Amino acid sequence: MRRSPIPAAAAALLLLASASAFAPAPLARSSAAAAASTSALALSPADVSILLADAADAVADAASDIATTASTSASDSAGDEASKSFLPTYSKASYYTTLALYAASFPGLWSQIKRSTKAKVKRKTYVSPGEQAEGGKELRQQAGEIMAYMKANNYEVAEAGETITFRGLVARSTSQAFFLTFCTALGMASLALVLQIQFQDLVLPGIGQPNWFYLVLLSPYAGIYYWRSGDRVDDVRVKLAESDDGTKNEVTIEGNDEEIDRMWRTLELSEKGMVRVEGILG
């Protein structure tokens, strides 16, 4: 470590004290001149001690200042290195890959809002014990149970024949409207977060730096869109058939997926090719 020089005043006093204490006696001169010179240069031992103490204090103060400066510099350097080592970093490849996946999945929100006003139509075949099976039902009895179920759920017979078409009115749901609004709010909030990160320095003329989270205010329009679509008309087609040996009745149903699910549970039907297993809780 480089030391700072001793202050000039302290050095001069130290040299003067040393010279006064250890200098050889002057050559003989006239008595008056010698007496005057001796009285001018002579220092008492107390004065020499004071000068030496002041010089030592000055040297100690200079050494303390040097040590304090070195310690402060070392702390600042360590702090700068630590702050540099903890700077947040991320992989641009991972960031843009995640951004691309988000952009590809975001249209699913609009698809969910559009599909909420339409029925999800499926076609499934179920079986039940036939007339020849133990505890089974005749085909006519099975048809009567299906007719009673559809009537209880406000469905009317629209067409009768080999395939019976039931038509019913499905009322709009308040809970569905609130659910769509909630999902849209979450989607808009996530979109606002992505835009806030991607366009941090964007400044629009006349607006300034935009607050993307105002997009969340658009979420109620999803519920309004669903509600304005009103009630919808659903058709359910049912076809009954009996196996050759009369041990099974086949019921083919085509209609709204939710309605089909309620129907087979209520009528205790089993999907063809599947084995019905009772739940643990019944």
Question: Looking only at Cα atoms, what is the longest distance across the chain?
Answer: 159
Please report which residue ranges of the chain form alpha helices under DSSP H.
Answer: 8-22, 31-41, 45-85, 92-105, 107-115, 139-152, 174-198, 220-228, 257-266
d(CA 122, CA 256): 6
In this structure, the number of other CB atoms found within 10 A of the CB of residue 222 comes to: 24
d(CA 79, CA 68): 16
d(CA 221, CA 179): 12
Tens of pLDDT along 179-237? Answer: 999 999 998 998 888 888 888 888 888 888 888 889 899 999 999 999 988 788 889 99
* C-alpha neighbours within 13 Å on the C-beta side of residue 113: 22
Cα distances (angstroms) measured from residue 34 to each of 19, 42, 45, 46:
18, 12, 21, 23
Counting residues of the chain whose pLDDT is more than 70, the rounded percentage is 67
Q: Please, are residues 226 and 172 in contact by the beta-carbon 8 Å criterion?
A: yes
Least confident range of 83-87, 152-156, 244-248? 83-87
Asked if pLDDT for residue 25 goes beyond 60, the answer is no
Give the pLDDT of residue 204: 81
Least confident range of 3-12, 37-46, 115-124, 271-280? 3-12
Asked if pLDDT for residue 37 goes beyond 70, the answer is no
Tens of pLDDT along 136-170? Answer: 888 888 889 999 999 998 899 988 888 899 998 88
- Mean pLDDT over all residues of the chain? 76
Q: Please, are residues 241 and 250 in contact by the beta-carbon 8 Å criterion?
A: yes
Asked if pLDDT for residue 110 goes beyond 50, the answer is yes
Give the pLDDT of residue 217: 93
